Amino acid sequence: MSKLVKSSKIDKTFISQSFENLQEAICQELEILDGKAVFQEEKWDRPGGGGGRARVIENGNIFEKGGVNFSNVHGLLPDQLSEGLGLSPGHEFLATGVSIILHPSNPFVPIIHMNVRYFEMSNGDKWFGGGIDLTPIYIDVNQAKYFHQSLKDLCNRHDPSYYPEFKAWADNYFYIKHRNETRGIGGIFFDRLTVNPEFTLEDRYAFVKDVGESFTQIYKKLVNENRTKPYGEAEKRWQLIRRGRYVEFNLVYDRGTKFGLDTNGRIESIFMSLPPQVKWLYNYQPQPNSEEEFTLSMLRKGIDWANL
């Protein structure tokens, strides 16, 4: 899916170029899927070093708001991050990646998030991170099974230990502790995938590349199965309530948001993930035996979606 990059050596330059190409390819596919809206691009520079391309899509046939961001930032690692990594001050860093969030208009089309990233330190430490997770406003069990089976198949192409480990990681990461509920049905999440005797840099890169390039193929099926479903005020209200939970997670728990703020990142790019409209209703309770109540009952850790 992504274009070839100039170098065949997998290093920070190669990885950054491949992520930039991935952004381009995904934007093209999403514009075709939407059929109306196109991405608006804004290039930005980070005062401490590096920059990126923010691309936002709005008011389309499918996407009310979404973004596909590429960044390549570098410079002196802030003291707060040095402390979090257990390092003494004074290290240089490079971080590059693609981050995607899509908020559809139709409540039956799920919110989706994807991120692939690479981090390298001046002391020689380097690792990949990322993942894909799905936040349906209304949970359809068959569609949840398809989503998780697709991720399981993707992981198994690289290592059979990946899916169970990264699925559990997603369950624990995308968890709104103060609500005692998961953000959605999870997916896979991984961080600090380092080079070791079992996995080379090439192995790790091949997996992360597959995650990025599988994103639109997995999501298109879910969009096309739900895009024409009718909805009314009740479904829209539930969508806005669930979007509120999404905002709560991103502002309270999300590591990417915290990293962007701690490294003086571009605020518009950091908060691109937030939906355009939300609701917070006091002590809202769904009607008994409703689709909303069913969805709420399934927002918990440990569900073996692929085998339901």
What dihedral angle (degrees, nearest 10) is formed by the CA atoms of 206, 256, 254, 211? -20
Q: Which amino acid is at 17?
A: Q
Tokens, residue 124: 């020689």
119: nearest Cα among 193, 25, 32, 206: 193
User: 177-192 burial, b if ≥16 CB within 10 A, otherwise e?
Assistant: eeeebbbbbbbbbbee
Q: In the chain, helix, strand, coil percent, each to 5?
A: 40, 25, 35
d(CA 42, CA 55): 6
Q: Which residues belong to the active site?
A: 113
34: nearest Cα among 219, 165, 191: 219
d(CA 263, CA 86): 17
CA atoms within 13 A of residue 63's CA, in its CB half-sphere: 28
| Strand order, beta sheet including 126-135 | 40-45, 50-58, 63-76, 92-104, 111-121, 126-135, 186-194
Strand pairing report for 111-121 and 175-176:
unpaired
78 SS3 class: coil
